[in-house]
Structure 1
Amino acid sequence: MNATSPQAAAAARVSWPDQVRQALRGEGAAWMFVFKVLLSIYLAGMIAMRMGFSSPSTAMITVIVVMNRQSGMVLAKAFYRILGTIVGSIAAVVITALFPQQPVLLLLATSIWVGLCAGGALMFRNFLSYGFVLSGYTVAIIALPAVNQPTEVFDLAVSRLTEVLLGLLVSAAVFDVVFPARLRNSLRTTTEGLIAGFLDFVRDGTRGALPREKMEQAHLRFVRGSMALEDLRASVVFEDPEARVRSRRMRLLNQRFMAASTRFQSLHHLINRLLRGDPDDAVAGALMQLYRPLGDALAARQAGDHDDVTVRLDAVLAAQPARAAALRATLPAVRLDDFETGASLLLRFTSELRDMTHTAAALRRPGLSGPLARASEKVRFSYATDYFSVGVTVLRSFLVSLILGLAWIQSGWASGANAMANVIALTAILAAVPNPHVTAAQIAKGFSIGLVFAFLCLTLVMPRIDSYPMLVLGTAPFLMLSVYLSTRPPLFGLSLGMCLGTLVPLGVGLEPNFDVAAFLNNGVAFLVGAVLALVAFQLIPSVIGTLGQRRRLLTELRHQVALAARAPLDGLAPRFESVSRDLFLQVVNHTPPGSAESRTLLAWALAVHEIGRTLIELRHDSIDAAVPRAIEAHIDAAVSAIARLYEHLDPADHEAALSHLDAALADTLVQGAVPAALRAVRQHLHLLRSALRDADSVLAVAAGGDIHLPAEPSHAAS
């Protein structure tokens, strides 16, 4: 006798309609997206036909290119596509006017423009890079067909611009009005999750509930969160007027979050260094006692109430000096430098954490509600660029455009301009993708499938169509499947190829076209373009994510310490925080999780953040304190030596930095005491010295493990 489990029996009792509903659960949003894309496609095509545009299919294809499930992303992409199309149209007219009846020179100028735009796309983030891509291949789409007929370039530019604008306007209107999926909701959820996660992390860390490994992984999570937050902020401003008004405050919140996370890591690095020397270190114990009330305040906070946690942090901040003084009295004089440095870090961290929650609370209130305390809201978010990758991208796009263009001119292929435009577009779009040859292969496969769909439409459906509604009914099933696949991220390249392969060869226009030869010629031209783009990435491989690029970016990450040491101080702190995190994230995204390389990278990132931030604050406080010339000379020499150390990993620079730090620390003592004006400077110097003396640090390992650590001198203030 077969035994049936209760779960199996319950499943058998579920009716088939319920089983279907369970299987389709969560598919509503995907099919709503498909509906909005199809509505935009056919609405754009209908309007283009009513207005008598020469190529309604261009407006329809534009919808495919900008489709996204979030309305804010559609609006952002449309905005930058408009800019790119306008700039590209102007450039096409200018280039053609400069080289009329000179195909080779026109092709050379076009190839240079395309290469520069492809490189520009790699230097920027968000959809601004997409604007560069559009500017590049718009020139190809307009200028190449006018090689032998330059007098038509202006008409081609106007037609292209109006048709693209129509597709963009229709897409923006549909996605912003018809059941919009607001990006601001994602931004709000991401922000709240990031802030709440960080507060919980601080709560657990200050109560001794987090081992070092978890703290390091949390740092990685927070770096990713801060970069994602900036990407969302840059797009949400297109859909939400209130978000535009408060965009600066959102950026300020992110900058304060990054500053607080760096400070917290510095504090724990100091405590960990003390505990590695002695698990029962008295200073480490005193510092943990000092920050425990902070953890208690965060544990008692009301979740999501940033005003409440700000009030609690104000109370903790007010009580910290008295608690620090009481704990300081229990420690020997020779250990006071360690304690004063840690207590100062905790005081600054609590202040920064309070400023972060204060900003988060202000963002939850409508409007701007007055200026924020202790803040300049003109904060910039900077990104890092691997110029070698940019150079390879420029070279690839230039050579592909020039070589294939010359081959096309010599062959006299009527549809060669279409193939050229497709190659140029794909090589530029895929340049920033980690595995562009894989995505290019997906697009080529998708285009092949779409070409079959288009052929079926042309031969079986189009001859029976006598109205626009019938056109919609006849072609929608093919496009429906293609668009639906785009809701599955791994299949997006296949979906894009299928959509373009269906719409491009059909060339929907004012009058039906049943020329199978022209259909095949145009379809094959675009397919050849996709295949040639794949070949281009095989011959000149992408360097994104390669070992060489990871090493270059890691070197550039170390060089951020030199930036902190030498760059002008105005706006340096937010620039350092954002660029160093961007560099770290670019490398770690292509590093196997949990690998030795990933752990080493994380250690470097933490070291760079700690040292760089301390150098910036040391330079600021040295200016504010008007330090004596002798101390200033030692500080300048130490800062320069640290910069050289992180650039070249030379033990000689390590010894020089320690020597000048020791001299500066000795000079800050005046008759055995530290003047009040020099206390902040002395604390920064001591923190730098503590970090450089850490024999277990990644810096010591990278410098050959033979960094000389002299005996501990005494600089304690009595």
Structure 2
Amino acid sequence: MSVPAATSPAPSRAQAAWALVRESLRGEGSAWLFVFKVLLSVYLAGMIAMRLGLASPSTAMITVFVVMHRQSGMVLAKAFYRALGTGVGSIAAVTMVALFPQQPLPFLLVLSLWVGLCAGGALMFRNFRSYGFVLSGYTVAIIALPAINTPTLLFDLAVARVTEVMLGLLVSTAVFDVVFPVRLRASLRTAATALLDGFLDFVRDGTRGALPRKAMEQAHLRFVRQSMALEDLRASVVFEDPEARVRSRRMRLLNQRFMASSTRFQSLHHLINRLLRERQDDAVAQALIQLYAPLGQALAQRAAGQFEGMTRHLDRVLEQLPARGAALRASLPSERWEDFDSGASLLQRFIEELRDLCHTAAAMQQPGIGGKLARADERVSFRYATDRAAVAVTVLRSFLVSLGLGLAWLQSGWVSGAGAMANVIAFTAILAAIPNPAVTAAQITKGFALGALQAFVCVALVMPQLNGYLMLVAGTLPFLMVPVYLSTRPPLFGLSLGMCLGTLVPMSLGLSPSFDIASFLNNAVAFVIGAILALLAFQLIPSVIGTRWQRQRLQRELRRQVTLAAKAPLEGLAPRFESVSRDLFLQVINHTEPNSDESRLLLAWALSVHETGRTLIELRHDSVDAALPPTLEAHIDAAAAAIARLYEAPSPAEHARALSHLDAALALTGGDGAVPSTLQPVRQHLHLLRSALRDADSVLAMTDSDLPSPPGALDHAAR
């Protein structure tokens, strides 16, 4: 007799509801832990400030909101630059008032100029370095404006401001570094491993044959974004970890070697692709594919995240490369040897750079700095690109807004006008570097309005019933909890920041809390109006960041990097070229519609600039080492100058002129096996440049912003 299978009872309504709650709260633990740490820092800073008898405990509490971040390293980085900016701004405020005591007009002129220059400085720097410029700008306004007619109070205001801000910074950094810290170094390690694993896997797949142009372009975009993000993380992690500070140069060297390797890989595959486009079964292309097959086999044996054994595999590949190259070269007709030699030379350099990259990655995995580095004396440099026009517009906007609002305030005699002006100065500087400042300013304005409404309810109905600091915490906690939680949702960060500040600033928490509703409304309205005026400032003088005008100028600047490669001093030029050109490319592509014609054309230009620029730099290095005859040196210099002009202003005439100089230089180096050994590297670089210029699928043969696009050009760019 069969026994019926037992069936589990259907879940009750309560169980189903609890399951729904658990599902909705999944992953919310880290968000609420962040909320807890922020509010703990806020109330701890406020309590210490009141115990010390500071004039404005709310300033220390507000500082926590300004530097809050989930990762402790980011909090430490923001705190460092905020402290630096506050100190510089305080000194500047004291100096300005001392130079122009009770002289409002000259003081406002100098203040506006300072604010404008600080806003421009914020746009020139990245990471949280720009934050230091923002702070030094509006700290002057916060300290000096209230003392414009009473300069004797200035020093006390400056000391109080610095003390309150430093207290907020010390408390927030201590809490985030001690209470369940989220270390940035783990994110840095994960990002570096993911970058290298992705690149090595891409190289492994690429050794199986030709890569389509579109695959190379998309990989280039991905690797550029990852390498720039890695540098941003490195710049912040040094604040939280002493070991990371010691290893900072190694991490930058790792990134630099990755950029060099990725550019070399592009050049190698562009050469093979050009050969295969001319003839599908081209013998040289097939020989080169066979030549680097052992590289793919070596990479296929690698386990993810493991780099120690990879260097030994690559050393063996390098040892076998000359013999394999000689055998494959002998199977080709003599007139094709030059194409093969150029590709073989590229491959050898690429494997050497890949070995150094893996060696650096393996050394980074060793504890401390014990891991030995290959070519440890290599110069390390990383530079960003600056859009001077965007900086000029930002300086002008901040200057005009500060001066105009200051003059209006002096004429009106508005008691809370200093607060509104300081708010406008702060937000016009903070929002200057954001791609859509008007949108973020609108979010902050809404947040200020909602926060002021919350503060009014708290001050009018809740705070009069409170007695003691613990009751103050209990009464204000519900009003601050929701805004802080919203900050865990990136699209709502502007709204969250506005609500946090709009709630806490008008309360003016202190040793003797005021329940004067009229004074409260005056302060709250001043801050809301300040946010609205900041929004209007970006409507009247729009930001140029992300506009078509800026994208076109940055694209021209990207092409101009070839001129840098052709003419700039060679010392440190290679890492400078690699980092600046990538930063320019990323600035443009981030504001370009994905998969659009403009995006595809930009990707094609970026690949071409990287390949040509790097080849020019190496040509110049090898020319110096080879001690060229004067005639050959003159033709090489003329060819480099012609190529630079071609990239700056593409035209058929410049294209023909560049090819003519390359042909003349190649003729002077000899041919048909009669090339002196000292001139072989130079000839190979010249051959690669000529091959790139004669490529019918190259972006130089497609389009330029100053020339009409030939039919089908953008279709070619997408391949």
What range describes the TM-score normalised by the shorter chain of this pair?
over 0.9
Q: Distance in 1 between matches of 2:159 and 2:117?
A: 23
**Corresponding residue number in structure 1 for 2:623:** 622
Tell me, yes or no, if the aligned pair for 1:651 and 1:706 is still in contact at 8 Å.
Answer: no
Paired residue type of 1:695 = A
**More divergent stretch after superposition (33-42 vs 210-219):** 210-219
**Corresponding residue number in structure 2 for 1:505:** 506
**Corresponding residue number in structure 2 for 1:433:** 434
When residues 694 and 670 of structure 1 are mapped into structure 2, their CA distance, relative to the original with a 3 A threshold, is: closer
Paired residue type of 1:525 = A
Query: What is the Cα deviation at residue 18 of structure 1?
Result: 2.5
Q: Distance in 1 between matches of 2:11 and 2:534?
A: 53
**Corresponding residue number in structure 1 for 2:714:** none
Instruction: List gaps (5 residues or longer) in structure 2.
Output: 1-6, 711-719
Instruction: Please give the secondary structure, in 2, of the residue aligned with 1:448.
Output: helix
Q: Distance in 2 between matches of 1:10 and 1:629?
A: 90
**Corresponding residue number in structure 2 for 1:537:** 538
* 1:69 maps to 2:47: no
Tell me, yes or no, if the aligned pair for 2:362 and 2:371 is still in contact at 8 Å.
Answer: no
Q: Distance in 2 between matches of 1:469 and 1:375?
A: 57
* 1:50 maps to 2:56: no
When residues 11 and 205 of structure 1 are mapped into structure 2, their CA distance, relative to the original with a 3 A threshold, is: farther
Tell me, yes or no, if the aligned pair for 2:210 and 2:272 is still in contact at 8 Å.
Answer: no
**Corresponding residue number in structure 1 for 2:140:** 139
- Give per-residue Cα distances to partners, 1:640-668, cap 9 Å, x unaligned: 11111111213222212111111111111
**Corresponding residue number in structure 2 for 1:341:** 342
**Corresponding residue number in structure 2 for 1:305:** 306
Query: What is the Cα deviation at residue 705 of structure 1?
Result: 8.1
**More divergent stretch after superposition (621-630 vs 252-261):** 621-630
* 1:129 maps to 2:121: no
Q: Distance in 2 between matches of 1:43 and 1:218?
A: 48
Tell me, yes or no, if the aligned pair for 2:363 and 2:372 is still in contact at 8 Å.
Answer: no
Query: What is the Cα deviation at residue 210 of structure 1?
Result: 4.7
**Corresponding residue number in structure 1 for 2:81:** 80
Instruction: Please give the secondary structure, in 1, of the residue aligned with 2:512.
Output: coil
Tell me, yes or no, if the aligned pair for 1:53 and 1:163 is still in contact at 8 Å.
Answer: yes
When residues 74 and 334 of structure 1 are mapped into structure 2, their CA distance, relative to the original with a 3 A threshold, is: same
Query: What is the Cα deviation at residue 12 of structure 1?
Result: 8.3
Q: Distance in 1 between matches of 2:371 and 2:462?
A: 62
- Give per-residue Cα distances to partners, 1:111-153, cap 9 Å, x unaligned: 0000000000000000000000000000111111111111211
Instruction: Please give the secondary structure, in 2, of the residue aligned with 1:690.
Output: helix
Q: Distance in 2 between matches of 1:554 and 1:376?
A: 34
**Corresponding residue number in structure 2 for 1:466:** 467
**Corresponding residue number in structure 1 for 2:274:** 273
- Give per-residue Cα distances to partners, 1:509-553, cap 9 Å, x unaligned: 011211111111111000000000000000000111000000000
* Aligned pairs for 1:567-582 within 5 A: 567-582=568-583
Query: What is the Cα deviation at residue 334 of structure 1?
Result: 1.2
**Corresponding residue number in structure 2 for 1:152:** 153
Query: What is the Cα deviation at residue 303 of structure 1?
Result: 2.2
Query: What is the Cα deviation at residue 23 of structure 1?
Result: 1.1
* 1:478 maps to 2:459: no
* Aligned pairs for 1:526-675 within 5 A: 526-669=527-670, 672-675=673-676
Query: What is the Cα deviation at residue 626 of structure 1?
Result: 1.0
Paired residue type of 2:46 = G
Tell me, yes or no, if the aligned pair for 1:634 and 1:660 is still in contact at 8 Å.
Answer: yes
**Corresponding residue number in structure 1 for 2:250:** 249
Q: Distance in 1 between matches of 2:13 and 2:570?
A: 70
When residues 10 and 389 of structure 1 are mapped into structure 2, their CA distance, relative to the original with a 3 A threshold, is: farther
Paired residue type of 2:281 = D
Q: Distance in 2 between matches of 1:254 and 1:341?
A: 26
Q: Distance in 2 between matches of 1:209 and 1:272?
A: 6
Tell me, yes or no, if the aligned pair for 1:45 and 1:59 is still in contact at 8 Å.
Answer: yes
* 1:105 maps to 2:106: yes
When residues 59 and 328 of structure 1 are mapped into structure 2, their CA distance, relative to the original with a 3 A threshold, is: same
Query: What is the Cα deviation at residue 207 of structure 1?
Result: 1.3
Instruction: Please give the secondary structure, in 1, of the residue aligned with 2:292.
Output: helix
Tell me, yes or no, if the aligned pair for 1:302 and 1:309 is still in contact at 8 Å.
Answer: no
Query: What is the Cα deviation at residue 460 of structure 1?
Result: 1.2
Q: Distance in 1 between matches of 2:377 and 2:39?
A: 46
* Aligned pairs for 1:151-300 within 5 A: 151-208=152-209, 210-300=211-301
**TM-score if structure 2 supplies the norm length?**
0.96
Q: Distance in 2 between matches of 1:368 and 1:665?
A: 46
Instruction: Please give the secondary structure, in 2, of the residue aligned with 1:286.
Output: helix
Query: What is the Cα deviation at residue 170 of structure 1?
Result: 0.5
**Corresponding residue number in structure 2 for 1:359:** 360
**Corresponding residue number in structure 1 for 2:414:** 413
Paired residue type of 2:35 = V
Identity of aligned residues (%): 74
Q: Distance in 2 between matches of 1:699 and 1:523?
A: 58
Q: Distance in 2 between matches of 1:670 and 1:540?
A: 60
**Corresponding residue number in structure 2 for 1:712:** none
Paired residue type of 2:314 = L
**Corresponding residue number in structure 2 for 1:446:** 447
* 1:689 maps to 2:687: no
When residues 150 and 537 of structure 1 are mapped into structure 2, their CA distance, relative to the original with a 3 A threshold, is: same
Q: Distance in 2 between matches of 1:672 and 1:619?
A: 23
Q: Distance in 1 between matches of 2:379 and 2:144?
A: 41
Paired residue type of 2:297 = D
Tell me, yes or no, if the aligned pair for 2:210 and 2:269 is still in contact at 8 Å.
Answer: no
When residues 11 and 254 of structure 1 are mapped into structure 2, their CA distance, relative to the original with a 3 A threshold, is: farther
**Corresponding residue number in structure 2 for 1:325:** 326
Paired residue type of 1:569 = L
Query: What is the Cα deviation at residue 15 of structure 1?
Result: 3.3
Q: Distance in 2 between matches of 1:262 and 1:375?
A: 21
* 1:39 maps to 2:65: no
Instruction: Please give the secondary structure, in 2, of the residue aligned with 1:592.
Output: coil
**TM-score if structure 1 supplies the norm length?**
0.96
When residues 408 and 662 of structure 1 are mapped into structure 2, their CA distance, relative to the original with a 3 A threshold, is: same
When residues 13 and 500 of structure 1 are mapped into structure 2, their CA distance, relative to the original with a 3 A threshold, is: closer
Tell me, yes or no, if the aligned pair for 1:461 and 1:474 is still in contact at 8 Å.
Answer: yes
Tell me, yes or no, if the aligned pair for 1:249 and 1:377 is still in contact at 8 Å.
Answer: no
Q: Distance in 1 between matches of 2:641 and 2:394?
A: 35
Paired residue type of 1:172 = T
Paired residue type of 2:343 = G
When residues 209 and 695 of structure 1 are mapped into structure 2, their CA distance, relative to the original with a 3 A threshold, is: closer
- Give per-residue Cα distances to partners, 1:28-65, cap 9 Å, x unaligned: 00000000000000000000001110000000000000
Tell me, yes or no, if the aligned pair for 2:703 and 2:709 is still in contact at 8 Å.
Answer: no
Q: Distance in 2 between matches of 1:212 and 1:546?
A: 27
When residues 655 and 88 of structure 1 are mapped into structure 2, their CA distance, relative to the original with a 3 A threshold, is: same
Q: Distance in 2 between matches of 1:60 and 1:50?
A: 14
